[in-house]
């Protein structure tokens, strides 16, 4: 059935249609992949441009503040107030202090990034801020000395604020007091605001990250996921961060661009893939809709094909199978007005014609079989009569009247069954009684060397109809060819068996061992109707085949006793019982 379906027209039609859908799906997948790669490339290029511009602007602004901080220490008036022993009057000192205060105010106010600035003059005892000048106390001194370890050209982070500390001297000797210490503190909030300029897409963000300095500053237009992305950042074989990465946080995918190192550490941008790929995802949704429509169309076409083509074809194939099994009584009754109506009409006419021809051949074959059976009866009776009468005569001479009477009764039953003019088909119980009488006569002849075990016919078997004289020839064949050479311990077994699909009658013996090749040859000769020693078996097989229209016959196998087993099988769906036969 599977092979027939694969070779069917409807399967080829549907396979072709599915091939078109598959080709369309492949094309959509290719276009989608190209669009996805292009959108991803554009997104990374945008992130790269933003990072490049932001880093350049941010570094330039911080760098300018640092230059002003360095240039501050060259102020001429600063020199007059860095030490208390400078020979200037109060007016000049006040003028110098105001001038330096203005410079501090100018530097701290030059950028919105600067939050606060302070100049410490420990030797002269002044603390100068953009708004005022103060005398330094011990708290100010402690604060200044706390900043001294950070005096270099880098921006530092204390966990809360970013700041730069300069002393104006290249080297600070241990224990020495510097002339001046200038600290500029940057606004963390303003730095975060600068990051907002590169976080333009919903859910996107950017952050500064430095594990060594403990720096972490992030801005996001959605959930702040930088802390989860940073540990996932991949490095190449040289230990450098890969600039383009695709990472996942809580099942959501982000396109990540590592812009490189700047004044505050590593600069990283991220953007949700869903937002970046939204046009591509819309294309994917459109693709899925098209594919669903194509699938629905395939189903609709399949159903229409099933109705218009596959179903009538199945009706026609089913009718052919019925004819193949020997059923010519059922015509195709379906009414149609298309081309199949002509096929159905032609099939019904063909079926009637074949049925007539088969009936003619069957009648002719049946008459021939009846003639063969009559001839077989005429051949068997004299041969069997002589041997049986000799046995009967010996028993009478021995005055074994009881066994002689029993033998005479079996002979009478045997020859009455052969010679009476009755139906050509009989119930199994009558055929079995005849075969049992035959076995009883043979048992009288060979009782010393052959034992016959004839099982009672089960009640459900008794009404099965058979052609006459199909069981007794099997027994005769076993006596003649299977057990003839047995001088002792010969066994002939007749029993009945039922399977899920068949009724079976088995005749087995423990005659000589027959090779498997010989058994296969005998089986082939029986089915092909060849002559020789198995002519009787071949005739029985053919008669059963004709009566049951191919659903009955003989099988030859090795017996469980060691010799040969001949089985009459009748399929249950074809079995004819006594009451059914009487209705014919």
Asked whether residue 256 carries a pLDDT value surpassing 80, the answer given is: yes
Asked whether residue 534 carries a pLDDT value surpassing 80, the answer given is: no
What's the pTM?
Answer: 0.47
Asked whether residue 166 carries a pLDDT value surpassing 60, the answer given is: yes
435-440 mean pLDDT: 87
* Lowest-pLDDT range of 86-90, 288-292, 504-508: 86-90
Alpha carbon distance 45, 37 (integer Å): 12
> What local confidence, expressed as pLDDT, does residue 360 receive?
65
Local structure of residue 241 (DSSP, 8 states): B
Share of the chain above pLDDT 90, in %: 13
For residue 171, name the pLDDT band (cuts at 50, 70, 90).
Answer: very low
Asked whether residue 24 carries a pLDDT value surpassing 90, the answer given is: no
Contacts of 388 (CB under 8 A, 6+ apart): 407, 411, 441, 445
326 vs 424, which has greater pLDDT?
424
417-443 mean pLDDT: 82
Decide if 365 contacts 546 (C-beta within 8 A). Answer: yes
Which of 326, 195, 257, 278 has the alpha carbon at shortest distance from 47? 257
Strands (E), 94-243: 114-121, 126-128, 133-135, 156-157, 162-166, 181-186, 205-210, 215-220
Highest mean pLDDT out of 352-361, 362-371, 395-404, 456-465: 456-465
> What local confidence, expressed as pLDDT, does residue 118 receive?
93
Decide if 475 contacts 492 (C-beta within 8 A). Answer: yes
Q: In Å, what is the CA distance from 528 to each residue of 90, 351, 464, 504? A: 142, 26, 26, 21
Where do the domains of the chain lie, and which CATH numbers do they carry? 73-186 (no CATH), 352-582 (3.30.565.10)
Asked whether residue 377 carries a pLDDT value surpassing 60, the answer given is: no
Place of tokens 């909030």: 189
Asked whether residue 354 carries a pLDDT value surpassing 80, the answer given is: no
429-439 mean pLDDT: 89
Asked whether residue 55 carries a pLDDT value surpassing 90, the answer given is: no
What is the tens place of the pLDDT at every residue in 451-477? 889 999 998 888 899 988 889 889 888
Highest mean pLDDT out of 27-41, 59-73, 391-405, 419-433: 59-73
Phi-psi category of residue 121: left, alpha or beta, with phi > 0 → left and psi -120 to 50 → alpha = beta
Asked whether residue 47 carries a pLDDT value surpassing 50, the answer given is: yes
Q: Quick one: CA dihedral 300, 303, 307, 313, positive or negative?
A: positive
182 vs 304, which has greater pLDDT?
182
> What local confidence, expressed as pLDDT, does residue 565 receive?
92
- Beta bridge mates, 207: 218, 268
> What local confidence, expressed as pLDDT, does residue 298 receive?
74
* Lowest-pLDDT range of 281-285, 429-433, 452-456: 281-285
3-state secondary structure 369-380: HHHHHHHHHHHH
For residue 397, name the pLDDT band (cuts at 50, 70, 90).
Answer: confident
How much is the mean pLDDT over the chain? 81
321-342 mean pLDDT: 72
Around Cβ 400, how many Cβ atoms within 10 Å? 13
Query: For the stretch 83-122, what's the b/e string if a residue is b when 16 or more beta carbons lie within 10 angstroms of its beta carbon?
Result: eeeeeeeeeebeebbeebbebbeebbeebebbbebbbbbb
CB under 8 A, 24+ apart: contacts of 319-327: 319/347, 319/351, 320/347, 323/351, 323/354, 325/549, 325/550, 325/551, 326/549, 326/550, 326/551
Place of tokens 């311990």: 489
12 CB-contact burial (10 Å; exposed 0-12 / middle 13-18 / buried 19+): exposed
> What local confidence, expressed as pLDDT, does residue 165 receive?
92
> What local confidence, expressed as pLDDT, does residue 461 receive?
87
N residues, the chain? 584
> What local confidence, expressed as pLDDT, does residue 364 receive?
60
Place of tokens 């001479």: 397
559-578 mean pLDDT: 88
Asked whether residue 161 carries a pLDDT value surpassing 80, the answer given is: yes
57-75 mean pLDDT: 88
What is the tens place of the pLDDT at every residue in 142-154? 999 888 888 887 8
For residue 2, name the pLDDT band (cuts at 50, 70, 90).
Answer: low
423 vs 574, which has greater pLDDT?
574
84-96 mean pLDDT: 78
Local structure of residue 10 (DSSP, 8 states): H
For residue 139, name the pLDDT band (cuts at 50, 70, 90).
Answer: very high
Cα separation of the two ends of the chain: 35
Share of the chain above pLDDT 70, in %: 85
Contacts of 159 (CB under 8 A, 6+ apart): 214
């Amino acid at each position: 059935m599977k092979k027939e379906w694969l070779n069917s027209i409807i399967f080829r039609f549907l396979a072709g249609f599915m091939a078109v859908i598959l080709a369309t799906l492949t094309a959509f997948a290719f276009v989608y992949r190209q669009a996805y790669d292009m959108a991803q490339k554009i997104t990374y290029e945008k992130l790269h441009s933003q990072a490049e511009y932001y880093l350049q602007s941010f570094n330039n602004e911080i760098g300018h503040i640092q230059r002003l901080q360095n240039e501050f220490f060259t102020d001429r008036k600063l020199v007059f107030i860095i030490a208390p022993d400078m020979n200037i009057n109060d007016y000049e000192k006040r003028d110098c202090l105001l001038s330096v205060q203005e410079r501090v105010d100018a530097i701290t106010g030059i950028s919105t990034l600067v939050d606060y600035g302070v100049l410490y003059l420990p030797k002269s005892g002044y603390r100068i801020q953009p708004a005022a000048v103060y005398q330094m106390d011990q708290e100010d001194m402690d604060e200044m000395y706390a900043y001294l370890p950070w005096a270099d050209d880098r921006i530092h982070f204390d966990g809360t604020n970013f700041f730069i500390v300069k002393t104006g001297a290249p080297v600070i000797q241990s224990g020495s007091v510097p002339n001046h210490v200038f600290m500029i503190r940057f606004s963390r909030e303003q730095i975060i605001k600068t990051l907002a300029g590169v976080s333009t897409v919903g859910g996107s963000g950017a952050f500064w990250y430095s594990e060594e300095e403990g720096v972490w500053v992030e801005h996001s237009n959605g959930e702040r996921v930088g802390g989860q992305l940073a540990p996932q950042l991949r490095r190449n074989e040289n230990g450098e961060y890969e600039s383009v990465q695709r990472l996942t946080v809580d099942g959501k995918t982000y396109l990540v661009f590592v812009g490189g190192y700047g004044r505050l550490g590593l600069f990283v941008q991220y953007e949700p893939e869903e937002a970046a790929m939204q046009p591509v995802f819309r294309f994917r949704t459109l693709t899925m809709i098209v594919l669903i429509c194509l699938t629905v169309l395939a189903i609709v076409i399949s159903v229409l094909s099933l109705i218009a083509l596959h179903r009538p074809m199945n009706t026609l194939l089913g009718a052919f199978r019925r004819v193949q099994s020997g059923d010519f009584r059922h015509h195709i009754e379906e009414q149609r007005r298309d081309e199949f109506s002509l096929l159905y009409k032609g099939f019904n006419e063909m079926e009637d014609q074949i049925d007539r021809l088969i009936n003619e051949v069957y009648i002719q074959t049946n008459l021939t079989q009846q003639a063969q059976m009559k001839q077989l009866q005429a051949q068997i009776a004299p041969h069997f009569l002589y041997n049986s009468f000799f046995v009967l005569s010996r028993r009478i001479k021995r005055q074994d009247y009881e066994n002689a009477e029993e033998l005479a009764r079996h002979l009478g039953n045997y020859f009455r069954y052969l010679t009476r003019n009755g139906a050509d088909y009989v119930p199994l119980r009558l055929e079995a009684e005849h075969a049992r009488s035959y076995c009883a006569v043979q048992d009288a002849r060979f009782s010393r060397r052959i034992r016959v075990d004839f099982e009672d016919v089960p009640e459900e078997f008794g009404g099965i109809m058979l052609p006459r004289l199909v069981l007794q020839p099997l027994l005769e064949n076993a006596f003649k060819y299977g057990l003839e050479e047995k001088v002792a311990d010969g066994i002939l077994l007749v029993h009945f068996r039922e399977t899920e699909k068949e009724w079976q009658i088995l005749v087995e013996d423990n005659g000589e061992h027959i090779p498997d090749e010989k058994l296969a040859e005998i089986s082939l000769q029986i089915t092909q109707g060849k002559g020789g020693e198995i002519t009787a078996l071949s005739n029985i097989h053919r008669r059963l085949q004709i009566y049951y229209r191919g659903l009955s016959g003989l099988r030859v196998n090795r017996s469980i006793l060691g010799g040969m087993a001949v089985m009459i099988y009748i399929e249950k769906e074809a079995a004819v019982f006594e009451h059914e036969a009487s209705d014919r």
